[in-house]
Structure 1
Amino acid sequence: MTESTEKDAPLRDDIRLLGRLLGDTLRDQEGAESFDTVERIRQLAIRFHRNDDPAARQGLESLFADLPNNRTTLVARAFSYFSHLANIAEDQHHIRRARAHALAGSRSREGSLAHTVQRATEAGIGGKALSNFFARAEVCPVLTAHPTEVQRKSILDCQWKIARLLDERDRTELTPEEREVHEEAIRRAVLTLWQTRMLRRAKLSVMDEVANALSFYDTTFLRELPRLYNALEDHLTKQVADWPGDELKPFLHPGSWIGGDRDGNPFVTAEILESAMRAQSRKSLGFLLDQLHNLGADLSPTSVLVKISDELQALAARSPDHSPHRDDEPYRRAIAGMYARLSASARQLDGLEAPRHALGEAAPYASAAEFAADLDILHHSLLANHSRLLARGRLRRLRRAVAVFGFHLAPLDLRQNSEVHARTVAELLAVARPGIDYLRLDEEARIRLLQEELATPRPLAAPGIAYSDETRDELAIFRTARSIQQRFGKAAIQNVIISKTDGVSDILELAILLKEVGLLRPSESALDVNIVPLFETIGDLEHSDIIMDRLLGLPVYSRLLGSRGALQEVMLGYSDSNKDGGFLTSGWSLYRAEIKLTEVFARHGVTLRLFHGRGGSVGRGGGPSYQAILAQPQGAVQGQIRITEQGEVIASKYANPDLGRRNLEILAAATLEATLLPHQHDNPRPEFLAAMDTLSATAFKAYRRMVYETPGFERYFWESTVISEIAALNIGSRPASRKKTTAIEDLRAIPWVFSWAQCRLMLPGWFGFGAAISAWKEERGVAGMALLAEMNREWGFFRTLLSNMDMVLAKSDIAIAERYSRLVKDPALRDAIFPRLKEEWQAAIAALLEITGQTELLADNPLLKRSIRNRFPYLDPLNHLQVELLRRHRAGAVDEAVKRGIHLTINGVAAGLRNSG
């Protein structure tokens, strides 16, 4: 047995255990015949997957064709749960291996803060430079609503219970009797999972999405982030000789735009924005109240035995706690008073009643900072009186939680489409300045007019005018944002994002709307939020530097940026750029845009913070975060980065606290490393850049020719994938398309990628690459391919690009994709398109292997290869069943079991692939 095989033995044991328990549950609940059917399907699917066995294919088709409608849902549920359980086992194995390394005293792992700090000190970076980095750093994973989110929270809760039980089994040596009891508990949890409804009966509301996101604060963010900060401070103190000992500012924290993102979502209103912030605040205040109560139980020192500071004495004296039993317990008395004030704050801000009654009435805290100041009094009194150990316990974590989360929990971003802003401004101008038809003005005329308006404090909106619903709604959103800032502090809403930015006027239009509600004040040159342009299409990315250069050169805007610390955030859209120009061109356009933006911002003396709109799948900019951040061009990170975390990626990263902490640490470590440690691959040779220009141009033409110029391709897409059924699922609060058409241009990028993933073709993650390399090889020959191999070895961007494509191609399955192609009604259309897709797929694999020198996909990624090997026997049957169910549904089957079965297979395939869009 090899070392690797031995290390993986516990994983195999867990998968066998969970598979056996699910099989037993299936047999007990549904009967032996159902169990035998599922097992027969699994064996045939394995033969089909491994060998493309014609007999296995025929067996599967016959078996599924004969399967009654009411049995299809059972089969779909069985294989979906197999996939879920395999994921749980895999996640637990990652935790197990991390603990094994820690127990063995192994060198810190790449991607950990300990590893990065060690590299920094070895490179001669001292405590002052590290302190300066943390003082100005901003690392923010932003949770976003996902129109193809597929997991119900009830299912996630069941999975988390099973994961906890596996973890306990790992960490504890059990007696035979205890082991029997423990296995029964797992069996009970699996039975609960089997009996829990997997699908939603009603479409998600925005507030459902808010509630789903807030559940990850319970599991991970609220508890693990304070621990991560404290561990980092301790590590810096021990390992960095000249570390100044400062407490770290909250540079790493989650953000959200769930409840504030109204781009194409008519259900996000001013009322929803208010409700979302109240829900966030209730979560934060509920946690702080609970921890403060527990702190009172922890801090029992008596003034008879220990000294206290004068400030603490005064704080205790102001407390409504006058019990004679606590006369000599000043910390408890002080905390009772603080609890009364915090309870009053929760009641005033959110109508939240504290879980435990306060001992008396007290004035609410005016801000989270005021509450933090009282906690500091406790902290400094303990330090001054030889009780440092007590200060390092719950109090330290609570102080950190207040610093990171405040009373608002997380900054809530706003987002809207530039076209909506333009129409709103046009209507306001039409009333305030009759005769101006704003929408008919060219770009230069718009810029001149908007600058004039920004120079005066006069608002455009006139009282008593009946504006359109759209204009009223937009102004209401911004008024609510200002109200939220006034109540919860400016940290509660910091960023307003403009989708589809393609000109300077788009940015100035938003500035006008902010001025209308007082979030921008010309007379003070004050701006209370960051105005964030989002560049999404290939064309917009190519012109982003020109737009930002012009914008930063406008005196009126430059003065406003001064109030934001001369920092400008720019968001880059990975999803729409991919849908617009394909995988290779999208990645290259983003990289080029970052280089040009970095140069422009340096010239203007403005700090650039990039907000990466990445999805979970590679087709939407996904892939390992650590490598993605390190592969940014030189100077593009600068200690500041925000990254979207979407849908099922949120659950896979943050549902488990151990994995959640690891993922947060990876973001921070990669940002530190990309900022402070030079990388040779940050500065590619000119011939590398020229090669990418050529490859991108060829790939772009191949992609556009197929997706946008091939007659019938749109119809092929809608008929050969599950997009129609996805559009009808209860899996998000927003429509799948921006407009009521089937045009690919109008389709949201997420369901576009989701659909190709479901049919296992994964087109957005590779199409165009094979054509580009084939043309390159034909023109440049052996020397050209040698150059690409050098690029892979020496350039992080290119290596990461190929690594992500390797991952996508390994998850694709052309034989299964071919089965989906047979859903296309017109054989001529199918025969005109699928062979071209297959040829390009084969060319992409051949090109990838030749450049990397691998003999097979994932040769350099044994962990993912193992993962696929473990999960695909349960995933592939779901695809085969989905094809059969789609055939029945589109043939007119009205049985509700068919529709439910399709939805179940969508859920299961997404779980098996571990990314749905």
Structure 2
Amino acid sequence: MNQDKDAPLRDDIRLLGRLLGDTVRDQQGEAAFGLIERIRQNSVRFRRDDDIAARRELEDILDALSREQTIQVVRAFSYFSHLANIAEDQHHIRRSRAHLIAGSAPREGSLAHALQHALDSGAADPAALAGFFDGALVSPVLTAHPTEVQRKSILNCETVIARLLDARDRMQLTPEEAEANDEALRRAVLTLWQTRMLRTAKLSVIDEVNNGLSYFETTFLRELPRLYASLEDRLAAADPALGAPELAAFVQVGSWIGGDRDGNPFVTAEVLERALAMQCAVALGHYLDELHILGSQLSLGIGLVSASDALLALAEASPDHSPHRSDEPYRRAISGIYARLAATYRSLLGHDPLRHAVAVAQPYPSAAALAEDLDVLHRSLAANGSAALTRGRLRQLRRAVKVFGFHLAPLDLRQNSDVHERVVAELLERACPGTAYSGLDEDARCALLLEELATARPLASPHVRYSDETAGELAIFRAARQAHLRYGTAAIHNCIISKTDDVSDLLELAVLLKEAGLLRPLENALDVNIVPLFETIGDLENASGVMERIFSIPAYRGLLEARAHTQEVMLGYSDSNKDGGFLTSGWALYKAEGELVDTFARHGVRLRLFHGRGGSVGRGGGPSYQAILAQPEGAVQGQIRLTEQGEVIGAKYGNPEVGRRNLEVLVAATLATSLRPASAAPTPPAFLDAMQALSDAAFAAYRGLVYETAGFERYFWESTVISEIAALNIGSRPASRKKTTAIEDLRAIPWVFSWSQCRVMLPGWYGFGSAVRDFLAARPDDGLALLQRMNTEWPFFQTLLSNMDMVLSKTDLAIASRYAELVKDAALREAIFGRIRAEHQATVDAVLQITGQTELLDANPLLKRSIRNRFPYLDPLNHVQVELLRRHRDAAEANGIDERIRLGIHISINGIAAGLRNSG
């Protein structure tokens, strides 16, 4: 039966592969096609049949490639990975539709399942559910870390291919239509082949903003309103007494792109202002387009339909005086709304929209005023027998305005606490020479900062010249204040403090907010959330203590009144993993969350957690639904924010239907977690003790390798593509925080990216095998049974193992050994790779023992099949990448860089990332 279900996927992959092959033959010649086909066939034979002769032939072919042949091979296999991703996404959509058409029971992870479970279990009735959403917040936040290896032009080509595949699937095509679809697909694949895969120049922050905005245009602006409509309709169907409920705008897609300054010197006040203007242009442009179409649709004549007084007043106020529309009040009202919105566009952005209004009008003072005019349309139609007309484009537009406003997406600001400290120190020193703020202890710092926060007097003077850093930071906060005045306070909600160590870090930010008028002491007003980010293992262990102390300060508690007694805390998955390894990072995060829940409950403050997750498991990635359900009790409370980073944004939201499904998953998991009954019993102490023992042993193993082994840093830089990644144009942010090769200074993203490229995936598993071995040695009688119980009964541990299972299945030490050969010191190479190999085997054995599987991913056959099908197309890319790295580095030593070889390396990085579907 599974074979039948997967037949359409195989057909799509064969179709796209054939079209790609035909394109290679037409564009590069028969010889190039024949070479690529031989490589493909040998790779498939080796992977499918474990054919050693096929592997030898494959290696002989690949080692003998000329420079130009290498580029052709790398391009072909990279593009195949992209096409396979499109086919898989379409198959997920196909299977979801098949379940819905068949009337299958809602599947776990869907919104329908979460609502049905809540109602059937008695956790909430429909009215209570509607009330729940009034105070809920589900916010995926797009970030522009350098793992988004796709160009927007490539994504555009892939969108065309996806739409053409979708059309073949949804309708029965006539022979002529099928032929036209085939031809269009052939053109799309040709365009993809002829489109440059890599950027020729390093991305600017504005380029990243543009990339991020494309997902709003293709997915969020349309799919989010549909999600709200579906949810409202389900609640209405469950309880007709609710009428036609309109839920609060609890799903908010946020962004860091243009506001994240931590380690990115290119994010300035000017960039922030431009990013906000670009966001505004997308939002208003969407509304104007929708109004234009709506005006053509609502051609209702006053003799055939009635209208409310408010609607007639809108029509009368409209500058549209055309005699052809004199008896069409809805159209005239919409023309007036359009004219006012066009004036708003001009007022906020300084130029007219592409489609002009019928006449000049007054701009809207706020998005709420626009929403009210649209509500007048809605109420008039509903009251006069035309309720059906309210449920189409008008409903989508009304919801979009209420969700996206004039700002499109709340833009977070983030900066490192060290920068805040230096800026505050300079401001204090200039205002009162001799303060020597940086030399004060924590108590003295807090006392001084609280003294400043008690007065409305600013520290900064327009008559004093400050350092570039201080001037730049003050300019950012002033730009944020102006953004509130221009676009509304929803434009910037949060200021995040990286590397939060203590209470003074929060108070320093408060002082800087006061300088810009975002905190006003006399009014006890705070216009943004002050969000500490705890990242390292030590910071996570200290998190609840920091919050305990800040909540004990009356002045700070007073500020929280302006934020509905809610405090957001961000937890960093990336740096904690690089700091302490996968297992210890996960455990430190879990413990920190539990301790924060207790601390917040004791102080009567609502906790909102912001999870800084990356795409890969080594950076907190993995299935979002399971991750949210595995949170400690009380850690969600109806509100959750989490980052969506790098290539994950494209994979999750590039296709509108897949994007809708991912948004549903976040809402469903938040609902299910928040409404689940309190556990009858807390997590058994034996589980907690066992987890602590495992964490201690895994931490020792990980730190022992990464930070305490002489030569490991050199091994890492020579055996991975880290040097080449640092040079690749995949982001505006430097790969390291400082100009060193130290692991401590390296950003977590390129750290994980590099290990995934060479198929080691070390950040996602290293240390677990040693930990389990030590645990079982200490408890030979009941240790394994206890770990198996933990996997069965504890969602947190189960999720850890599930993610590790996935990462291990993508690991290939035979390929990794080829990368290890790039390390010139043979003794160092053997010593470190030998340890990696031994730990990998121990970890695989441990996972299989605990889960009871005979092979990795036995419990996830869909993913297992997907990975198995991809490997024959990934292996050649890895093999060629190693050879290209060797040639590139040899040439570099001889002072002779070959740009074609470097191009091949960069294309191979792109292809491997696409094939693994997690680059960091």
**TM-score normalised by length of structure 1:** 0.99
- How many angstroms does 1:310 deviate by? 0.7
**For residue 898 of structure 1, what is the amino acid of its counterpart?**
I
Q: Match for residue 903 of structure 1?
A: 906
- How many angstroms does 1:46 deviate by? 3.4
| Paired residues of 1:151 and 1:907 also in contact (CA < 8 A) | yes
Instruction: Give the Cα separation in 1 of the matches to 2:557 and 2:577.
Output: 32
Q: Match for residue 121 of structure 1?
A: 119
> Structure 1 residues 47 and 781 mapped into 2: Cα distance closer, same or farther (>3 Å)?
farther
The farther-off stretch of 70-79 and 892-901 is 892-901
Q: Please state if 1:311 is matched with 2:322.
A: no
Q: Match for residue 59 of structure 1?
A: 57
| Paired residues of 2:126 and 2:238 also in contact (CA < 8 A) | no
Q: Match for residue 616 of structure 2?
A: 617
Gaps of 5+ in 1: none
Q: Deviation string for 1:501-537 (max 9, x for gaps)? A: 0111111000000001100011111100000000000
**For residue 684 of structure 2, what is the amino acid of its counterpart?**
R
**For residue 627 of structure 1, what is the amino acid of its counterpart?**
Q
- How many angstroms does 1:191 deviate by? 0.8
Q: Please state if 1:716 is matched with 2:719.
A: no
| Paired residues of 1:493 and 1:529 also in contact (CA < 8 A) | yes
| Paired residues of 1:126 and 1:242 also in contact (CA < 8 A) | no
Partner SS, residue 473 of structure 2 = helix
- How many angstroms does 1:184 deviate by? 1.5
Gaps of 5+ in 2: none
Q: Please state if 1:914 is matched with 2:888.
A: no
Instruction: Give the Cα separation in 1 of the matches to 2:686 and 2:787.
Output: 10
Instruction: Give the Cα separation in 2 of the matches to 1:385 and 1:26.
Output: 61
Q: Match for residue 142 of structure 2?
A: 143
Q: Please state if 1:471 is matched with 2:470.
A: yes
**For residue 904 of structure 1, what is the amino acid of its counterpart?**
I
**For residue 758 of structure 2, what is the amino acid of its counterpart?**
C
Q: Match for residue 34 of structure 1?
A: 32
Instruction: Give the Cα separation in 2 of the matches to 1:43 and 1:891.
Output: 31
Q: Match for residue 586 of structure 1?
A: 585
Instruction: Give the Cα separation in 1 of the matches to 2:170 and 2:618.
Output: 38
Instruction: Give the Cα separation in 1 of the matches to 2:903 and 2:757.
Output: 16
> Structure 1 residues 787 and 135 mapped into 2: Cα distance closer, same or farther (>3 Å)?
same
The farther-off stretch of 144-153 and 558-567 is 144-153
| Paired residues of 1:447 and 1:505 also in contact (CA < 8 A) | yes
The farther-off stretch of 385-394 and 713-722 is 385-394
Instruction: Give the Cα separation in 1 of the matches to 2:641 and 2:627.
Output: 13
Partner SS, residue 818 of structure 1 = helix
Partner SS, residue 491 of structure 1 = helix
Q: Please state if 1:111 is matched with 2:109.
A: yes
Partner SS, residue 891 of structure 1 = helix
**For residue 655 of structure 1, what is the amino acid of its counterpart?**
G
Instruction: Give the Cα separation in 2 of the matches to 1:255 and 1:582.
Output: 29
Q: Please state if 1:690 is matched with 2:689.
A: yes
- How many angstroms does 1:59 deviate by? 3.3
- How many angstroms does 1:680 deviate by? 5.4
Partner SS, residue 610 of structure 1 = strand
Instruction: Give the Cα separation in 2 of the matches to 1:740 and 1:509.
Output: 27
- How many angstroms does 1:596 deviate by? 0.1
Q: Match for residue 509 of structure 1?
A: 508
- Counterpart mapping for 1:874-889 below 5 A: 874-889=873-888
Partner SS, residue 153 of structure 2 = helix
> Structure 1 residues 654 and 700 mapped into 2: Cα distance closer, same or farther (>3 Å)?
same
| Paired residues of 1:303 and 1:329 also in contact (CA < 8 A) | yes
Instruction: Give the Cα separation in 2 of the matches to 1:54 and 1:760.
Output: 20
Q: Match for residue 369 of structure 1?
A: 368
RMSD: 1.2
Partner SS, residue 628 of structure 1 = helix
The farther-off stretch of 306-315 and 58-67 is 58-67
| Paired residues of 1:326 and 1:332 also in contact (CA < 8 A) | yes
Q: Match for residue 873 of structure 1?
A: 872
Q: Deviation string for 1:458-509 (max 9, x for gaps)? A: 1111221111000000000000000000110100000000000011111100
Identify the match of residue 75 of structure 1 among 73, 76, 81. 73
Partner SS, residue 497 of structure 1 = strand
Instruction: Give the Cα separation in 2 of the matches to 1:623 and 1:775.
Output: 27
| Paired residues of 2:147 and 2:645 also in contact (CA < 8 A) | no
- Counterpart mapping for 1:784-803 below 5 A: 784-803=783-802
The farther-off stretch of 580-589 and 242-251 is 242-251
Partner SS, residue 853 of structure 2 = coil
| Paired residues of 2:630 and 2:799 also in contact (CA < 8 A) | yes
Instruction: Give the Cα separation in 1 of the matches to 2:367 and 2:485.
Output: 13
Instruction: Give the Cα separation in 1 of the matches to 2:77 and 2:582.
Output: 31
Instruction: Give the Cα separation in 2 of the matches to 1:755 and 1:417.
Output: 25
Instruction: Give the Cα separation in 1 of the matches to 2:845 and 2:680.
Output: 25
Instruction: Give the Cα separation in 2 of the matches to 1:683 and 1:51.
Output: 49
**For residue 622 of structure 1, what is the amino acid of its counterpart?**
G
| Paired residues of 1:138 and 1:251 also in contact (CA < 8 A) | yes
The farther-off stretch of 575-584 and 241-250 is 241-250
Partner SS, residue 490 of structure 2 = coil
Q: Deviation string for 1:572-605 (max 9, x for gaps)? A: 0000000000000000000000000000000110
> Structure 1 residues 680 and 52 mapped into 2: Cα distance closer, same or farther (>3 Å)?
farther
- How many angstroms does 1:128 deviate by? 3.0
| Paired residues of 1:86 and 1:870 also in contact (CA < 8 A) | no
Q: Match for residue 730 of structure 2?
A: 731
- How many angstroms does 1:679 deviate by? 7.2
- How many angstroms does 1:24 deviate by? 1.0
Q: Deviation string for 1:330-383 (max 9, x for gaps)? A: 011111111110000001101242232211111100000001111111111111
Q: Deviation string for 1:64-87 (max 9, x for gaps)? A: 332111221111000001111111
Q: Match for residue 453 of structure 1?
A: 452
Instruction: Give the Cα separation in 1 of the matches to 2:120 and 2:872.
Output: 46
- Counterpart mapping for 1:267-416 below 5 A: 267-416=266-415
| Paired residues of 1:368 and 1:406 also in contact (CA < 8 A) | yes
**For residue 373 of structure 2, what is the amino acid of its counterpart?**
D
- How many angstroms does 1:50 deviate by? 5.3
Instruction: Give the Cα separation in 2 of the matches to 1:904 and 1:682.
Output: 53
Q: Match for residue 662 of structure 1?
A: 661
Instruction: Give the Cα separation in 2 of the matches to 1:482 and 1:815.
Output: 55
- How many angstroms does 1:911 deviate by? 0.1
The farther-off stretch of 789-798 and 437-446 is 437-446
**For residue 845 of structure 1, what is the amino acid of its counterpart?**
V
- How many angstroms does 1:178 deviate by? 2.3
| Paired residues of 1:121 and 1:240 also in contact (CA < 8 A) | no
**For residue 791 of structure 2, what is the amino acid of its counterpart?**
N
Partner SS, residue 572 of structure 1 = strand
**For residue 105 of structure 2, what is the amino acid of its counterpart?**
R
**For residue 907 of structure 2, what is the amino acid of its counterpart?**
L
**For residue 759 of structure 2, what is the amino acid of its counterpart?**
R
Partner SS, residue 684 of structure 1 = coil
Partner SS, residue 570 of structure 2 = strand
Q: Match for residue 187 of structure 1?
A: 186
Partner SS, residue 252 of structure 2 = coil
Q: Match for residue 550 of structure 1?
A: 549
Partner SS, residue 260 of structure 1 = coil
Instruction: Give the Cα separation in 2 of the matches to 1:698 and 1:264.
Output: 32
- How many angstroms does 1:307 deviate by? 1.3
Instruction: Give the Cα separation in 2 of the matches to 1:832 and 1:873.
Output: 29
Q: Match for residue 163 of structure 1?
A: 162
| Paired residues of 1:60 and 1:880 also in contact (CA < 8 A) | no
Instruction: Give the Cα separation in 2 of the matches to 1:28 and 1:245.
Output: 58
| Paired residues of 2:416 and 2:497 also in contact (CA < 8 A) | yes
> Structure 1 residues 725 and 426 mapped into 2: Cα distance closer, same or farther (>3 Å)?
same
| Paired residues of 1:69 and 1:895 also in contact (CA < 8 A) | no
Q: Deviation string for 1:398-445 (max 9, x for gaps)? A: 100000000110000000000000000000010112211111111111
Q: Deviation string for 1:809-856 (max 9, x for gaps)? A: 001101000110000011011011001000000000000000000000
Q: Match for residue 89 of structure 2?
A: 91
> Structure 1 residues 682 and 33 mapped into 2: Cα distance closer, same or farther (>3 Å)?
farther
Aligned length: 915
- How many angstroms does 1:60 deviate by? 3.6
> Structure 1 residues 307 and 169 mapped into 2: Cα distance closer, same or farther (>3 Å)?
same
- How many angstroms does 1:201 deviate by? 0.5
- How many angstroms does 1:450 deviate by? 0.8
Partner SS, residue 531 of structure 2 = strand
Instruction: Give the Cα separation in 2 of the matches to 1:183 and 1:40.
Output: 26
